[in-house]
Amino acid sequence: MRLVVIGHGPTGHRLVTALRDRDAAGAWRVTVVGEESRPAYDRVALTSHLTEGADLAYPAHGEEVDLVTGDPAVSVDRAARTVRTRSGREFGYDALVLATGSAPFVPPVEGRDLPGVFAYRTIDDLEAIRAHCADLTMSRREAEAIRGAVIGGGLLGLEAARALQGLGVAAHVVEVAPWLMPRQLDEGGGAMLRRHIEGLGLNVLAGTPMKALEAGEDGRVARVALADGTSLDAGVVVFSAGIRPRDELARGCGLPVGERGGIVVDGTCRTEDPAIYAVGECALVGGQVYGLVAPCFSMAEVVADRLLARASGGWASGTSAPAEDVDENADVDAGSGAVFAGADLSTKLKLMGVDVASFGDPFAGAGDGALDVTYTDPVAGIYKKLVVSDDARTLIGGVLVGDAAAYPTLRAYVGAELPGSPEQALFGGTEAAGGDLPGATVICSCNNVSADTIRCAIRDEGLTDLGEVKGCTRAGTTCGSCAPLVKKILDAELTAAGIEVSRALCEHFDHSRAELFDIVRVRGITTFTRLIEEHGRGRGCDICKPVVASILASLGHGHILEGEQAALQDTNDHFLANLQKNGTYSVVPRVPGGEITPERLIVIGEVAREFGLYTKVTGAQRIDLFGARVEQLPLIWKRLVDAGFESGHAYGKALRTVKSCVGSTWCRYGVQDSVAMAIRLELRYRGLRAPHKLKSAVSGCARECAEAQSKDFGVIATEKGWNLYVGGNGGMRPRHADLFATDLDDEALVRTIDRFLMFYIRTADRLQRTAGWLEGLDGGLEYLREVVVDDRLGICAELDAAMERHVAAYSDEWRDTLDDPGKLARFVSFVNAPGTPDPSIAFEPERDQIKPVLIAGSRLEVAAR
């Protein structure tokens, strides 16, 4: 039988792939007619092609599919069952699928046809934009910036603005709605997204309709006239104001279309003509056109099932019409689940480095019997909203901006009863879910895969790793956002079956971080090369290299910038400083316990003034200096080291600070000298490398001014000594620390913290804070107490010795760097021009200090992304 698919975009490609995978007998001979000159590619990732040169091509179908490119279909003869292309070729069909997609909507405004005005839809569009911007660059004067505008503040519009930035264009985003991404986000989420986008140097004009495009002296577009009478300079304009279904072929052959466009289809995606289907953005199903990948792919899966049902119904191969004894409508009830019953419009994406997600119905309100639970952190740029039923038990929908880690689990609970309170769900309380999710819960909306489908595949097929589950069920193979939840279901099933769950660090090591720590320690391994040669494979990756670097540093194997060690480090450790969003670095000297002399305060002030740095006192009782160029870092640290300062390790997974109140020395409520203890602890644990950063505090009385109970380890004075709390943290998922020991004297306190920290460093997973480590520790706090206090494992002497080795071997990383010309050679902006500062770094004054300024195409945009 002959199948013709018109359109080779993502949906058409998905249909053909699904059909070929299932049509083992080869009942269908497939011809695909594509309009573009290239085969199908991932349109969602267009910007990465422009900015990073990413290859977007989908896998080829193979020789069994006849693919026609660059020759669009121009007519369909339903009576003869033939398709004619622009070049005059003709293809007969037994079944026809229209997968013609959509076209960008360009409002009928004056100037829309001017040179320099583009849509943002295809690779050809991108190449035309690139060529135009290159031409503008060649013709502009040296000091002129290229300015552009994107009309539309939806997902694709923001991607287009990012693409313009990557081409060195200072871009405006013009959105007629009051906030960005109005179809996915509520007002609060849109406002938070705007803060992020504007922080990256884009100018956002929301609630601002455009009126016309105006030409310059050269006849090309030069300005965007707005409805409020103002205008924007723009040498390039990109329209991303929505899409319209491409239904011209359907109209031409008399198939019904919707009032606002779209080919009318039923639940099987079949048109009025039993031999013709429509899928993707050109299809109008249930009165709606879908513009997201997931529902379009679901339609493709439905039609693939229907075509296979037709094949099994006995159509004669090579005929232009079904055999007389075969009912063309027979496929409507054939097959399992082959009906498109709507779609989950949830979506998660990363826009210019910002996590954005919406799920369920985020716009339900009191009139729908719904309540809102919201959390906003404008400093961290986080907005979270859950919409729940009026009894606060059932999740209806939500919005996440700035932190979308909980998206896979929250999306899976839409329509179901939450396992805890909305507050717990909002801050990650549902993340451990996997085994307890209802069976009908859709885990992968892109491929309509339920929790039970995944569980059954794992049990019936004996699947044991994530790749096998993906291959068998398709879950996690499209956008990938559900992969963490799929892994949790897999782990839960394996655990229930008594099968050991793999804790492999990455594809290069079959061991967990804790196992690698012991291998390095016991075998005396001092290099990554030896470790991977003897216990791993390949050359390593950005997961295992920093982990091994941390392990080697924890065990005292040399300076982190020594030889091979330097190549293992993350960006911050690589330059011993925190990279900021405009390509400069921050300088954070250690101030133990927050105590500092006037002389040292003066030195910090002098350094900040001499190098023109932004100065801020942090919540952790330290002074941060921002705006240092990479080549300035050694000069700044030379001044600081000579004054007695050392690295504050703000860049490392290490001890950051031990905060303190003024304690009994000054405070009338204090019962112990908290400052002295904080200084003792900070000097003891400085430079201690760990799986994640460590924070601490010491309070001089129960009034808790140092906030010790929100720290990885916190100390509170009592009349008899010190109470020790462990496993707390602040941040976006606060956890109250647990009381571990009471009324300890000074020596017992230090000894207990020593053992706690060394046991954590040995056994925690990669990037696991003490809070998560303690919660996942088998036996919890009581087991930890047995190990650290009661010496249940007989390792306390070993832990004590390990800490003493660290204390004895400590050396300030910056002092060591300044004494080594080889290490200093890396601190340059340009390797081929060591003395040249980065010209893309610029500042402007704000509140008598400096503020970073975006220069189009600068490192600010790259680093932020």
Q: Are 206 and 175 in contact (CB under 8 A)?
A: yes
Token pair, residue 296, equals 């379009």
Report how far residue 456's alpha carbon sits from residue 452's, in angstroms, rounded to the nearest whole number: 6
Distance CA 660, CA 220 (A): 63
Nearest to 1 by CA among 28, 40, 19: 28
Buried b / exposed e over 823-840, threshold 16 CB at 10 Å, is beeebbbeeeeeeeebeb
Closest CA to 770 of 807, 730, 742: 730
Q: How many angstroms from the chain centroid is the CA of residue 417?
A: 27
Tens of pLDDT, residue by residue over 706-739, are: 999 999 999 999 999 999 999 998 876 678 999 9
Q: Which fold has domain 654-811?
A: Sulfite Reductase Hemoprotein; domain 1 (3.30.413)
Which pLDDT score, from 0 to 100, does residue 476 have? 75
Does residue 8 contact residue 43 with C-beta atoms inside 8 Å? Answer: no
Residue of 695, 751, 682 lying closest to 726 (CA atoms): 695
Rounded Cα–Cα distance for residues 272 and 237 (Å):
40
Q: Round to whole Å and give the CA distance between 648 and 813.
A: 10
Nearest alpha carbon to residue 411 among 516, 294, 490, 286: 294
Closest CA to 173 of 131, 124, 120: 120
User: How much of the chain is helix, strand and coil, in % rounded to 5?
Assistant: 35, 25, 45
Both structure tokens of 701: 């009385």
Q: List C-alpha distances in Å: 141 to 136, 190, 442, 840, 841.
A: 10, 37, 56, 17, 20
Per CATH, 2-103+245-332 and 117-241 having the same topology is answered: yes
* CA pair distance 595, 659, nearest whole angstrom: 10
Q: How far apart are CA 650 and CA 619, in angstroms?
A: 13
Give me the architecture of the 577-647+826-865 domain, per CATH: 2-Layer Sandwich (3.30)
Q: 204, 210, 202: which is closest to 182 by C-alpha?
A: 204
Interatomic CA distance for residues 199 and 159, integer angstroms = 16
| Residue % of the chain over a pLDDT of 70 | 90
Low-confidence residues of the chain, pLDDT below 70? 50-54, 140-144, 313-337, 350-353, 428-436, 445, 478-481, 484, 571, 581, 732-733, 829-840, 854-865
In angstroms, rounded to a whole number, what is the distance separating the alpha carbons of residues 450 and 438? Answer: 9
- DSSP code at position 687: T
Token reading at 432: 């451990």
pTM: 0.58
Sign of CA dihedral 603, 609, 612, 617: positive
User: Which parts of 576-698 fold into alpha helices (H)?
Assistant: 598-611, 633-642, 663-666, 674-685
Closest CA to 20 of 33, 32, 11, 29: 29
**Are 784 and 777 a contacting pair, CB within 8 Å?**
yes
Reference 21, options 57, 59, 68; nearest CA is 59
Closest CA to 19 of 295, 267, 302: 302
pLDDT of residue 321: 39
CA distance 433 to 419: 9
Where is 750: in which H helix or E strand? Answer: helix 746-763
Residue 213 has a pLDDT of 95
Chain Cα centroid distance, residue 93: 44
First vs last Cα of the chain: how many Å apart?
49
The CA dihedral of 156, 162, 165, 171, to the nearest 10 degrees, is 50
What is the predicted pLDDT for the residue at 782?
93
Domain boundaries along the sequence of the chain = 2-103+245-332, 117-241, 347-496, 514-569, 577-647+826-865, 654-811
Instruction: Please list, residue by residue across 502-525, b when 16 or more beta carbons sit within 10 angstroms of its beta carbon and e when fewer do.
Output: eeebbebbebbbbbbbebbeeeeb
Out of 2.40.50.140, 3.50.50.60, 3.40.50.970, 3.40.50.2300, which CATH number does the structure's domain 2-103+245-332 have?
3.50.50.60
The residue with tokens 């009025």 is 272
Nearest to 520 by CA among 556, 495, 493: 556
CATH code: domain 347-496 is 1.10.10.1100
pLDDT at 326: 37
Nearest CA among 662, 664, 656, 733 for reference residue 696: 656
Strand order in the sheet with 370-377: 347-351, 354-360, 395-401, 382-389, 370-377
SS (H, E, C) 226-246: ECCCCEEECCEEEECCCEEEC
Residue 476 burial by Cβ neighbours in a 10 Å radius (0-12, 13-18, 19+): buried
The residue assigned the tokens 């050359």 is 539
Residue 336 has φ and ψ, to the nearest 5°, of -105, 120
Q: Which residues of 632-668 are buried (b: 16+ CB within 10 A; e: fewer)?
A: bbbebbeebbebebbbbbbbbbbbbbbbbbbbbeeee
Tell which CATH architecture fits domain 117-241.
Answer: 3-Layer(bba) Sandwich (3.50)
Distance CA 135, CA 124 (A): 17
